[in-house]
Amino acid sequence: MSQITVRAVLFGDGDPDGAISRTPGWRGVVDRIGDALPAVSAGGRQIVEREMTSALSGLLGLDVGDILVGGWRRHRALVAAAHATRANPTATEVVQLATHRITTAHRPYVDIIVNGGKVATVHFDLGLTVDLDGVLGTVRQARLVAIQDGRCTITAGLGCEGLEIASRQAVIDPSLTVRVGKGIAILDEERKPSVA
């Protein structure tokens, strides 16, 4: 089971740096950065652009599976199943999750430092909306031990300083997205770093 990142959702499996730099919105961002760096030479601006692309690509390495799990820890049916199975080691509860939506917003930013002095800060906006339908979760001993079926539609949007850089929608199989392992703790008090 491979990890699915926001970067992969937005730009596919190809070279993310090249994909970012080819977007029309990125050109506008680079032009604005150039305006903010009047003392930097053309060669220096190319370095800034390259480093910015690389830094942004790194910021998009969020795991979609982690985002889903973060949302599910707040799902009432799953939380109830976790409480119901915690006290009974033999109990297993299968929950068919109603249609639900998980959203996140990230505000990463990049500082540009020239000759030791910060000359600009570039802010990004990353929005992620995940619509899930028909997912079956199996809970045992307050842990989510299996994910089955269902449909997961991810809509991701990336912007910078008011300019849209990329936007894309993808449909994935949630059972292939979330790495369950030995079970994912649903309740906060049950969470242990070694599990999941």
Contact residues: other proteins, CB under 8 A: 39-44, 47-48, 51-52, 54-56, 58-59, 67-68, 70-72, 74-77, 80-81, 84-85, 88, 90-116, 123-124, 131, 133-134, 153
Least distance in angstroms from the C-beta of 126 to other proteins = 9
Nearer to other proteins, 52 or 166 (CB): 52
Least distance in angstroms from the C-beta of 164 to other proteins = 18
Q: What angle do helix axes 42-59 and 24-36 make, rounded to 10 degrees?
A: 130
| Contact call for residues 33 and 49 (beta carbons, < 8 A) | yes
Nearer to other proteins, 31 or 121 (CB): 121
Nearer to other proteins, 43 or 193 (CB): 43
Q: Which residue has the tokens 């799902």?
A: 75
**What would the two tokens of residue 105 be?**
């917003």
Least distance in angstroms from the C-beta of 16 to other proteins = 14
Residues contacting 167, CB < 8 A, separation 6+ = 10, 155, 156, 157, 158
Least distance in angstroms from the C-beta of 136 to other proteins = 10
Residues contacting 78, CB < 8 A, separation 6+ = 72, 95, 97, 137, 139, 144, 186
Nearer to other proteins, 63 or 164 (CB): 63
